[in-house]
Chains A and B, each alone.
Chain A
Amino acid sequence: MTTGISEIALVLEDGSIFEGEAIGHVPENGIAVGEVVFNTTLTGYQEVATDPSYAGQIITFTTSHIGNYGATVIDNESRRTFARGVIVRDLARRHSNWRSEMSLDDMLKKYQLPGIAGIDTRRLTRLLRDSGSLRGAFGTADQKSLLTAAQSDPGTSGIDLVSQVTTQEKYTYGDGRFSVVAYDFGIKSTILRCLSEIATVTVVPAHTTAAEVLAMSPDGVFLSNGPGDPEMVRDASTNIRQIVEAGVPTFGICLGHQLLSRAFGGHTFKLPFGHHGGNHPVRNLRTGAVEITSQNHNFCVDPDSLSDVAEITHLNLNDNTNEGMKLKKYRAFSVQYHPEAGPGPHDSRYLFAEFAELMETR
C-alpha cells in the first residue's frame, strides 16, 4: 500500500487478467510463470512457500493477510523455495511475532521467489475451482507477453519435477532408534523431524537404486512427498517394488503414496484443482475416526486399481478420493495427505508411531 510499488498484472492461460502490485523477488525478464493453484490454510504461509512439492507452481493464498508474523529459518520446509511464485491479497507491511527473524517480503527476496499482491484472490480461486488449475504468468512484462508465457508453460503433467528438487548427495538426519532410508522426492523438513524422533534417517536422492538402499540394511524405508506427476519419476516403481518385496517396512506420504501405489499396479490421475490446505476431513477406515488433515497434491490414486493388492485405509470425506492404503501382502502403507503437518493440524501424527511399530515387529 506504500507508494513506489510497481503495478503489474497476472495473466492466466484463458486470458483472465488480474491487477496487482509486485512483491518479493523481481523475476528474470519480468515474468514469473507456472501452474496456478490455491491453498486455503489460515496459518503457515512460510511452510507452504518453502514446500518442494510446489515446484512448477504458483501458489495463491486464499487467506487475505499474509506475512503478519514474519518468517523464521526454522520454519522452512526445505533449503530453498521451489515454487515459481506467490499470489496474495495483502502482504503485511509490518510483521509482529517474537519468533520472526525477517519479513516475508525479505524472505521472498532472499529465496528469489517473485510475488504479486493486491489481487482479488477470491475471484482467482473461484476461477481455478471452476475451470481447474490454470497456467499463469505475472510480472512487469506487458500482458501479451504474459499470456504467451502462460500458454507456453509446460504445466506439471508429464514433467519430471522431482529431479529438480531432490538432494544430490545422501545425508543423515537425527539419531533415533531405528535406521530409516528416506527417498527424497522433495522431502519436507517437518517429515524429517517427525522421522528423527523414531529413527536415524539417511536421506537419499530420488533415483537411488533398490540395491543401494537394501545394501544399507535399513529397518525401514520412507517414500517422501514431492512435486508433480508420479508417472514421471523414473525407476521409482521398480526400486520401490524391490524394496517392499524384500520385506523392508515401508511408509509413504503424498507423492510417496502415489509411487507405492503405482509400484503395485495402482493408477494415478490428476484432480481438477487438487487439494491444498489444512482443513480436509479424512476418515481412518479402520477406526472410523475423522482426522483434520494437511493436504497438498494435484495427483491422486484410483482406489479401484488397488483393490486386489491393498486395503484402503483412509478416505477424503470432502470428495471421497483415496487418502491412504496398506498393501495386503507386504509391510508397507502410505497416505496421500500430510500427517507431519507443517503447516496444519497434528491429528495424524500417530502414523509415524505406526511406522515405528511396523519396524519394531519386523
Chain B
Amino acid sequence: MPRRNDIHNILIIGSGPIVIGQACEFDYSGTQACRVLKSEGYRVVLANSNPATIMTDPDFADRTYIEPLTPEILAKIIEREKPDAVLPTLGGQTGLNLAMALYEQGLVGVPGTPELIGANAEAIATAEDRDKFKQAMIEIGLNVPRSGIAHDMDEAHRVLTEIGLPVIIRPAYILGGRGTGIANTVEEFEKIARDGLDASPIREILIETSIVGWKEYELEVMRDRADNCVIICSIENFDPMGVHTGDSITVAPAQTLSDVEYQRMRDAALACIRRVGVETGGSNVQFALNPANGEMVVIEMNPRVSRSSALASKATGFPIAKIAAKLAVGYTLDEIPNDITKMTPASFEPTIDYVVTKIPRWAFEKLPGTSGILGTQMQSVGEAMAIGRTFPESLQKGLRSLEQGRLGLNCDAGEALYLKYDNDALLKKAAIPTPDRIFEVGEALRRGISVESVHDATKIDPWFLDQMQMIIDERQQLEGRSLETWSRSEMKRAKRLGFSDGQLAYIAGTDEDTVRRQRESLGIVPTYKTVDTCSAEFAAETPYHYSTYEDENEVRPSSRPRVIILGSGPNRIGQGIEFDYCCVHASFSLRDAGYETVMVNCNPETVSTDYDTSDRLYFEPLTREDVLNVIAAETHAAGGVPPKVIVSLGGQTPLKLSGLIDPALIAGTSPHSIDVAEDREKWNQLCEQLSIPQPPGGTAVTVSEAQTIASRVGFPVLVRPSYVLGGRAMQIVHDQDALARAMQQMATDGSLGKEGGLSAERPVLIDRFLEDATEVDVDAIRDATGEVLIGGVMEHVEEAGVHSGDSASAIPPQTLPTWVVEVIKAYTTSIANALDVRGLINVQYAVLGTTVYVIEANPRASRTVPFVAKATGVPLAKVASRVMLGATLAELRHEGLLTDPVEGGHVSVKEAVMPFNRFPEVDTALGPEMRSTGEVMGIDRTFGKAFVKSQTAAGTVLPTEGMVFLSLNDGDKPAGLVVVQRLRELGLGVAATTGTAEYLAKFDQPVDLVVGKLSEIENTSLDNAVDLVAQKRISFVVNTPHGRGSREDGEAIRKAANTHRIPAVTTVEAALAAVMGLWEQRNTEIEVRSLQEYHGR
C-alpha cells in the first residue's frame, strides 16, 4: 500500500518541555517525523512549546508554532492551518493526551475534522484506560495482575479488600509513573491512593497485586496497516519489578529468556497491539515474569513511540519513529527499505551481536529532602547508553558514561564510600533500590558475598550477578601485582570486560597515562564495530560505531577533512537538550560546508545519536580515554591526518576534556582562553585590564580562607564550586556559620566529594552577592577577524540570585535603558576580543542601579543559544560552528547563512519548567542552584502576552478568578502593592499574611482575608495558609522567601501549593509579570502565530 494521497497537510504534536519521564527522546522522534513527512511531500505543521528542541527549528516544518500545548491553543492552530490529519503518537504522553482532549471536544478524529493518524481515539483509550486495557488483555487470553479500579477512596478500599496487600497503585493517563507507588500497609495505601487520585487527570487509579521482584521485560512492536507486525527489540530490566523502567538499568537484547519463553512473549505482544488496535506505528508492551515458574503477565502498553522506542532505535539501528511516520501515511513495512543495509526491507526483526546497557542518571543531590529511593514513579532526569560486545563491557562503559565521577563498576576512588558498611548493612542497603545499588552489589560481590545471597536480597537475576562477578574476579586476579607483571592476555581480558584505563590504574596503583602506554605497548587498542540491525549478515552502509577489544576494526578510510563533535552525554539538570541542539546544528552546517562530521555521544534520547545526523557516529562514553581512542581511530582512518575537535558546543562535558586533548586539534576558542575565563585569578586580571566592574570576591579552599574573603567583601555572598554547570551546589549565604557549613558540604558530601573534593585546582568561588540586581545574559559570536555578533541580550525576570537556568528571561530586554544595553554589548565585545574567542561566548551580567557588573563569561555554547535563535531567526549554532572552523562572519553573511536578526514586533519569553510535582518534599523556592529540567517559550506582540503564554506552556495556570494569596518579604512589598492593584482591576480576591496585609492597608489596599502565620497559629483565630491551600480556597500563591531568619512558614506554604497543585510563584517579579500579562490579555482572544511568520519567511 503506497503513500496516502488523500491527505496533504499534517499537524504533528510535540511533547513540550523536558520533564522527568518525557525528555529529548520525543525531540528525536518528532524531528524524524518532520523530516520524513516533509521529504514525502506533505505540508507539515508542528506545535511544540519547547524552544530548545531541534524539531522546532523553522527548517523542519512548513509552519512551526512555539505555543503552549493546551487543547485551546491547538484548536486555534487547527482552525488556522486546517490540517487533514493529526499525528499524535510521536509527542509522548503529552501528544496523546492532547489528541484525546481534542477528540472529546469533537475537534479531531470525527467526520468533518482532521483524521487522527497513527492511533485512533478508540485504540488510545483501550491502551491508556487501565480497566479497558485489562479487559482487553483478558479477552485475548493474556494474564494481567489481579486488580481493580477506583475513582475515590471508598472504592479504593473496596478494591483493597478484594485483592489484599501488598498492592501497586497506578493513576490513569499519566506519564513516567507519576503518582504510582507500592503499598505494604494500610497507611501507605491511604496516602498513595489519595495522591494517585490527585495525579490522574480523570481521578482514576488502578490497584493491583504487587509482583515486586518478578523479572521485567519490554518488547518494542511495530505494525503497519496491512497488519504486518514485527518486534524491533527485546529489553530486559536488570532491576526487577518494583522500579520504574525509566529508573531501571535495562539491557538489550533480553538475556535470560529461552526461545520458548521469548516466542510466547512475542506472540503476546503481537496479540496485544492487534487487540488494542494501534493501526500503524510503534508501541511497547511490558511484561513481568515469575522467575520461579515462568508465569507471565502483561503490565502495560504504550500505543505510541516512547522513551524505550528511542532506546530500541539506538540499540538496534532501526529508526522506529522514522518508520512509524511512514507507516502513518500509508506505507507498509515491506515497502520501506532498511536504512542501514539499503538492500533489505524494513519488514524484519533486527538481530544484534552486542549488548546494550542503559543506565539512568538522577539529580537527588539537587533536591534536598528527597529519599533517593527508587520506586514505581520515575525520578531520573537522564540516561546513558553503552554498547559492548558483552554485558560486563557495556555495563562498565555505561557506568563511566554517567559522568558522575565513577570510572566503571567500582575499582575507583568512589568505592571507598561503601567501606564503612559491614556485610549485613551492605546487603540491606543493596536490597533497597537507589542510584548506588549497582555499586553496592559490586562491593558485596567483591567481599565474597555469594551470588545467591545477593540475589536473595535484591532479586537481581543470578546471570547478571555472575557477569558482574566476572568483573570482580578479574580485578582480584590483577590486584596487588605491579602493572608490568600483567600479561598481554590478562590486559586484553580486562579491557574486554570493559575496564577503563583509569580503573586499571587504580588497581595497579599508578596513573591512567602509564596504563595507556603499557596497554598500547602490548598492542591492545580498541576496535570499532558497526551497529547494523542484522549481526553482519548484510553489508551496512551506515557508519554507526562502538568500541570493543577484538580482532577487526570496521572504520572505513576516508580522506575528506573531518571534524569530531563531542556531545553532552546524559541529560542532567543544567545540561540538557539545548546542547544537543548546538551539536546537531554544528553537524548539519559543517556537513553542508563539505566537512565529514563525526559525532561522539552516549545519550540514546538525542537527535545527535541518530545515525543520520552526522557522517559517522561513535556511541561512546565522553571520557578522556574513550575520546582519545576515537581521535586515534579517525586519524588512522584518514591516513594519519588528525581531525579537528569541537569541545565547546556540548556543555561542560566536552569542555572539561578540552585541556586533556592536543590543543592543536581543538577547533574554535583555544583551551588557553577557556582556562582564562574559568580560572578566577586570570579572569579577575582580565576584567581589571578591561575596566569592567565585577562583584568583589575571591577563591578559597579552606573555611578560614572563605571567611576572610567574606569579611572583606561583606555578606551576603554567593558561594559556588569552579568547573560546574547548572549552579551545582551554589548557595547564597548570609553569615559566617552558614558559610562554614557550605564549605564543609562542598568538601565532603555529595557528588563533588565523590569526585575528589576541593583542591587548589578546584577551589570554591566566593563573591559578594548583589541583592536586587537585574540579571542579563548575552550570547555572542566572534570570528578570527575580530568581528563580534551580538546574538541576543536577555533580561531575566527574576532578580540576580535565581539561577539563570531557572529564571524567566525576555528578548528584547524589557526594563533596561537603551544605553545600559549598549554598555552590555560593548563589554561583551571587549571580553570576546580579549579572550580571542572563535565561536560562541556567553556573558552574564548583573545590573544594579547604573552599574553593569560582569558575573562570568563562558567561551562556549550556552543553554540559551536555541532560544535566542528562535527569538531572532539567526541560526547561532550553525554560524558559530563555521566560524570555529575558520569562516568569517562576513563570508557567512555573503553565503546567506547569517542574516540580520528579526527585531521589533514581538517579544520572546523563556520560562523554566521545574520538577517539583514529582518531589512534594522539596522546597520550591528558586535559588542559585539550578533545578529546572526544561524550558518553554512564549512569543507574542507584547511582553505581557508572551509571559502569560510562557506560564501556560510551563503548566502554571494564571488565575482569572478566585483569590490570590500573597506573603512577601519586606523588600518585595512595594512591588506587591502594584500586584494587588492590578489584581483588583482584574476582579480577583486578595488574601495576605498579617505583615503583608498591614503594609497594603497603609496604601489603602485592604485585603479580603488576613492569614495567620503558622508559628503564631496557636494564639490566633486566623486561618493558616497551608489549610487554605489544601482546601483549594486559593487559586494562586505569591510567596517570596525571606533573605534570612525563619523560612519555615514560606517553605510549608510552597510545599502545600506544590502538593495540591496550586500554581505558585516565588518571586515578586514573576508575580508582576503575570498580573501585567493577565491585564493585557483581559477581554482579548489569545492569538497564535508561527515562527516562520515572526521571522518573515
* A contact residues vs B (CB 8 Å cutoff): 1-3, 7, 18, 38, 40-44, 46-47, 62-65, 68-69, 72, 75, 89-90, 92-100, 120-123, 125-126, 129, 277-281, 283, 288-290, 292, 317-319, 341-346
Contact = CB atoms under 8 A, between A and B. Distances in A.
Interface stretch (B346-354, B702-710, B827-835): B346-354
A278 B257 CA distance: 15
Interface in B456-515: 461-463, 466, 470, 473-474, 477, 489, 493, 497
A281 B334 contact: yes
A187 B535 CA distance: 28
B410 to A, nearest CB: 18
Nearest to B470: A1
Contacts of B258: 43-44, 46, 69, 72, 75, 97, 99-100
Given A281-B345, A288-B226, A64 B451 contact: no
B292 interface: yes
A96 B347 contact: no
Contacts of B226: 288-290
Contacts of B534: 40, 279
A125 B343 CA distance: 18
B537 interface: yes
B910 to A, nearest CB: 45
Interface string B334-377: 10000000011101111111110000000000000000000000
Contacts of B254: 42-43
Nearest to A2: B473
A346 B263 contact: yes
Contacts of B463: 68-69, 92, 94-96
Given A277-B537, A290-B347, 10 more contacts: A40-B351, A62-B353, A63-B253, A68-B256, A92-B463, A97-B256, A122-B353, A289-B226, A318-B348, A345-B263
Nearest to B394: A64
A122 B473 contact: no
Contacts of B267: 346
Interface stretch (B93-101, B164-172, B227-235, B1024-1032): B227-235
B259 A289 contact: no
Contacts of B255: 65, 68
B525 to A, nearest CB: 14
A236 B568 CA distance: 64
Interface in B245-270: 253-263, 266-267
Interface of B: 226-228, 230, 234, 253-263, 266-267, 291-294, 332-334, 343-345, 347-355, 389-391, 451, 461-463, 466, 470, 473-474, 477, 489, 493, 497, 529, 534-539, 550-552, 554
A40 B345 contact: no
Contact of B334 (A2, A93, A99, A317): A317
B334 A345 contact: no
B537 A129 contact: yes
Contact of A317 (B259, B291, B347, B477): B347
Given A43-B258, A92-B463, A98-B294, A292 B551 contact: no
B389 A98 contact: no
Contact of A40 (B256, B257, B537): B537
Nearest to B290: A98
B294 to A, nearest CB: 6
A1 B461 contact: no
Contacts of B230: 292
A274 to B, nearest CB: 10
Contacts of B350: 279
Contacts of B554: 126
A109 B627 CA distance: 44
A279 B474 contact: no
Contacts of B260: 75, 99
Contacts of A44: 258-259
B333 A290 contact: yes
A350 B706 CA distance: 78
A46 B462 CA distance: 20
15 contacts: A1-B497, A44-B258, A64-B355, A68-B255, A89-B389, A122-B529, A122-B535, A123-B550, A279-B349, A279-B534, A280-B348, A281-B334, A283-B334, A289-B228, A317-B348
A125 B353 contact: yes
A94 to B, nearest CB: 4
A51 to B, nearest CB: 12
Contacts of A318: 343-345, 348, 538
Nearest to A71: B258
Contacts of B538: 129, 318
A175 B887 CA distance: 80
A120 to B, nearest CB: 4
The 8 closest A-B pairs by CB, nearest first: A44-B259, A343-B259, A123-B552, A94-B466, A62-B535, A96-B463, A43-B259, A120-B551
Contact of B257 (A43, A288, A289): A43
A46 B355 CA distance: 20
A118 B639 CA distance: 30
B254 to A, nearest CB: 8
Nearest to B346: A281
B551 A1 contact: no
A164 to B, nearest CB: 26
Contacts of A63: 253, 351-353, 535
B259 A75 contact: yes
Contact of A98 (B292, B333, B477): B292
A94 B451 CA distance: 10
B451 A65 contact: no
Contacts of A288: 226
Nearest to B534: A40
A214 B121 CA distance: 58
A281 B347 contact: yes
Nearest to A275: B537
A90 B451 contact: no
A42 B352 contact: yes
Given A94-B451, A98-B292, A317-B345, A125 B259 contact: no
Given A40-B537, A69-B258, A346-B267, A279 B462 contact: no
Contacts of A65: 255, 355, 390-391
Interface-central residue, B226, B258, B349, by most chain A CB under 10 Å: B258
Given A62-B535, A122-B536, A277-B351, A343 B344 contact: no
Nearest to B489: A7
Interface-central residue, B263, B345, B493, by most chain A CB under 10 Å: B263
Nearest to A94: B466
Contacts of A93: 466, 470
A65 to B, nearest CB: 6
A72 B489 CA distance: 34
A289 B860 CA distance: 53
Interface-central residue, B253, B344, B537, by most chain A CB under 10 Å: B537
B320 to A, nearest CB: 16
Contact of B536 (A42, A129, A342, A343): A129
B297 to A, nearest CB: 16
A89 B390 contact: yes
B294 A317 contact: no
B872 to A, nearest CB: 48
B334 A344 contact: no
A169 to B, nearest CB: 29
A334 to B, nearest CB: 23
A144 to B, nearest CB: 20
A341 B355 CA distance: 24
Nearest to B227: A289
A18 B294 contact: no
Interface-central residue, B256, B293, B350, by most chain A CB under 10 Å: B256
A43 B462 contact: no
A62 B535 CA distance: 6
Contacts of A75: 258-260
A1 B493 contact: yes
A292 B390 contact: no
Contacts of B461: 96
A47 B259 CA distance: 9
A299 B228 CA distance: 28
